[in-house]
Chain A
Amino acid sequence: MTKVLEAKNINKYFKGAVDFHVLKDVSFDIKLGEFTSIMGKSGCGKSTLLYILSTMDTDYTGELYFNNELITGKSPNDLAYIRNKHIGFVFQFHYLLPEFTILENVMLPAKKLAEKSMQEIEHDAMEKLRLLHIDDQALKLASKISGGQKQRVAIARALINNPTIIMGDEPTGNLDSHNADNVFNIFRQLSQEQKLSLLVVTPDKEFADKTDRIIEMGDGMIIG
């Protein structure tokens, strides 16, 4: 299977009076269509690793490959393009733009990519919202819907450019068990039906157990 993401010897320090070694020689890869979770206790560096993998954090040593292409050291604009086109994000806090409607929130990354016409983008966005059963709320303001709905909108937004991989930073951490199951089922469905790679950071063992593969982290290292 092709590797979507590969990390080689990633090291990161938090700079301070005494440098803190957060990530110690982390190496692993993620294959196409794989539903992977990174699990570990709070403070073990799992979120930090995710931000590096997501290309947002560039302050590390080591090498990062995306679709077998080295992306370490690329310009911020190139990285922004990769995030825009190939990576979808779902965060613990939903991070929608509160003054825009649900539909506009979902459309925004596609508008930035500007590969399709406005009509196509709007059509795609409605498709994604329908997929997540939230299309009836499309014209509401993002600040006017519930937390579970927000998280589904965030997933729809992550899907809009048909990315290669979806990354989630504790995407169910802020949801009740009903909504958390809901989100997990959506992820599972995406991975099976659309062959999407998923990489989800979670402290929740139950959640992790249901994924294809668990990367367990402890003290800045992969321990299992």
Chain B
Amino acid sequence: MKWFLVILNISKTHLLSRIKQSSIAALGVTFGIGAFIILMSFMTGLNGLLDGLILNRTPHIHIYNEIKPNQQQPIHLFDEFSTNLNVVYSIKPKQTQLKIHNAQPIINYLEKDAKVKAALPQVKTQVFYMAGAIDLNGIVTGINAKNESTFFNFQDYIVDGKPEHLVNNLNGILLGIGAAKKMSLKIGDRVQIATTKGEIIPLKIVGFFQSGLADIDNVQSYVNLKTAQRILGENENYITDINVKLFDIEDAVPMSQMISKQFNLTAIDIKTANAQFETGTSIRTLISFSVSFTLLVVAGFGIYNILNMMIYEKMNDIAILKATGFSGYDVKLIFISQAVIIGFVGGVLGLIIGFIASKIISNLPFETQALPTIKTFPVNFDYMFYIIGIVFAMISTFLAGYLPARKAQNIDPVEIIRGQ
């Protein structure tokens, strides 16, 4: 230990006596690591935002009754044709109801499952918003507003008003912002809704909904579950969709298969529905890593260069250290420790600069239609980046220092002393 302190003391003196060179070398690392932290924090923050756009409000499993033609046509039941290739043209779907049969027991069953965070019922129906002489197409979804906020971040998409106003309010509606603009409506106004069966129901606007996708905002509105059932003229059993949120998204695929088999319903898992998201995320992360890596390699070459020059300047010192009893290993350690000190100091500075810059970025205004509640740039302050950053800095400077240090280790003192 004492011996190591002696080595460290020598490297410290070397570094301090060339403070300019040392700081330039350290600054290289600082910029590399700082850029790494800023890039990663910003990129993953943005990734999280973009993924959250979809993932937060998309159920992990969406259960509904799909209208589709029956695969099992009468001819398939007829033994005589079983060996033939039977072609049936223009198969039409059977008249069935959209409601999920026995929805409440299914929800109860799912909520008992340890993997399930929540299973929320919804009622979807088509309506027309009546604006004077014009009827606008619309979709009204009946929800349990409180649970939707808890599990699907519903409140993030309400620009005016609050989702709570929908709770216990059978006459309230959260109108899509696009539709509201078309009809020049504001909070507190009434909107007439015509159901597909021709009934007209007046509802009071308690807030506006904005998803950031214009096509959705022009048609989508939310009401209380019971209101939706009333619009359809159905009883409380009438539920068209069940949205399931799981604790672990990885369970979505097997679980959806199990559900569709068990209940004979269509169950779409999030991975099938949004397969492209993971690809985008991983490519963005890859780009950030490779840019930072390049920066660090450049910094590493800087350190390599400076140490190499230092060793040429220090030939005499190396010879004298060896002549007075320092081993080649000691000499190697002196130069490696210099590189690692440069890496550590530069790296820590880089972390600090990266953190400060990330803080500044996270306070810059950033307005987006897609996420009305986001006002500043999203930045991810994950401590893992800081750990990776400093480890990265130490390893790259160690490697940059290792080669010149090994050269110093192998210097023959006799050659230097004789050469004078």
Given A56-B414, A83-B325, are A112 and B420 also a contact pair (CB < 8 Å)?
no
- Which of A54, A77, A100, A113 is close to B13, meaning CB atoms less than 8 Å apart? A100
Answer whether residue B99 sits at the interface, using C-beta atoms and an 8 A cutoff.
Answer: no
Question: Do A84 and B325 touch across chains, with their CB atoms under 8 A apart?
Answer: yes
A80 in contact (CB, < 8 A) = yes
A79 CB to nearest chain B CB (Å): 9
In Å, the complex CA distance between A76 and B411 comes to 13
Q: How far, in angstroms, from A99 to B14 measured CA to CA in the complex?
A: 7
B328 close to A (CB within 8 Å): yes
**In the complex, chain A residues whose CB is within 8 Å of the CB of B414:** 51, 56-57
Partner of B324, one of A99, A104, A109: A109
Checking A92, A104, A109, A114 against B420 with a beta-carbon cut-off of 8 angstroms, the contacting residue is A92
Q: Answer whether residue A207 sits at the interface, using C-beta atoms and an 8 A cutoff.
A: no
CB of A142, distance to nearest CB on chain B (Å) = 11
Q: Does B92 contact A (CB under 8 A)?
A: no
Given A112-B6, A169-B417, A97 and B320 touching (CB < 8 A)?
yes
Give Cα A95–Cα B328 distance, bound, in whole angstroms.
18
What residues of A have a CB within 8 angstroms of the CB of B6 in the complex? 108, 111-112, 114
> Which B residues are CB-close (under 8 A) to A98?
317
Q: Give CA–CA (A73, B414) in the complex, Å.
A: 17
Q: Assess the B418–A157 pair: CB atoms within 8 A.
A: no
> Are A93 and B324 neighbours in the complex by a CB distance under 8 Å?
no
B contacts with A: majority SS: helix
Contact status A157-B420, CB under 8 Å: no
Q: Which residues of the other chain, A, contact B418 by a CB distance below 8 angstroms?
A: 47, 51
Interface pair A99/B17, CB less than 8 Å apart: yes
Q: CB-CB < 8 A to A81: which residues of B?
A: 325, 327
**Bound form: Cα–Cα A199–B323 in Å:** 16
Assess the A114–B325 pair: CB atoms within 8 A: no
**Chain B neighbourhood of A92, CB < 8 A:** 420
Q: Known: A95-B316, A95-B319. Is A108-B324 also a contact (CB below 8 A)?
A: yes
Are A93 and B420 interface neighbours, CB within 8 A? yes
Bound together, the chains give a CA A167 to CA B156 distance in angstroms of: 83
Do residues B325 and A95 form an inter-chain contact, with CB atoms below 8 A? no
B residues near A83, Cβ cutoff 8 Å: 323-325
A12 → B minimal CB distance (Å): 11
Are A109 and B325 touching (Cβ within 8 A)? Answer: yes
CA distance A91 to B317 in the complex (A): 13
The chain B residue sitting closest to A113, CB to CB, is: B325
Q: How far is the CA of A169 from the CA of B419 in the complex (A)?
A: 13
- For B330, the closest partner residue in chain A by CB is A112
Determine the distance from Cα of A81 to Cα of B325 in the docked complex, in whole angstroms.
6
B34 to A: closest C-beta gap in Å: 30
Check A66 for interface membership: any CB of B closer than 8 A: no
Distance from A159 Cβ to chain B, minimum over Cβ atoms (Å): 12
User: What residues of chain B have their CB less than 8 Å away from a CB belonging to chain A?
Assistant: 2-3, 6, 10, 13-14, 17, 316-317, 319-330, 413-414, 417-418, 420
What are 23 A-B residue pairs whose CB atoms fall within 8 Å in the complex?
A47-B418, A56-B322, A56-B414, A76-B328, A80-B326, A80-B327, A80-B328, A80-B330, A83-B324, A83-B325, A84-B325, A89-B323, A91-B323, A95-B316, A96-B320, A97-B321, A99-B14, A99-B17, A108-B324, A109-B324, A112-B6, A112-B326, A114-B2
Using a CB–CB cutoff of 8 Å, the interface residues on chain A facing chain B are 47, 51, 54, 56-57, 76-77, 80-81, 83-85, 89, 91-93, 95-100, 104, 108-109, 111-114, 157, 161, 169
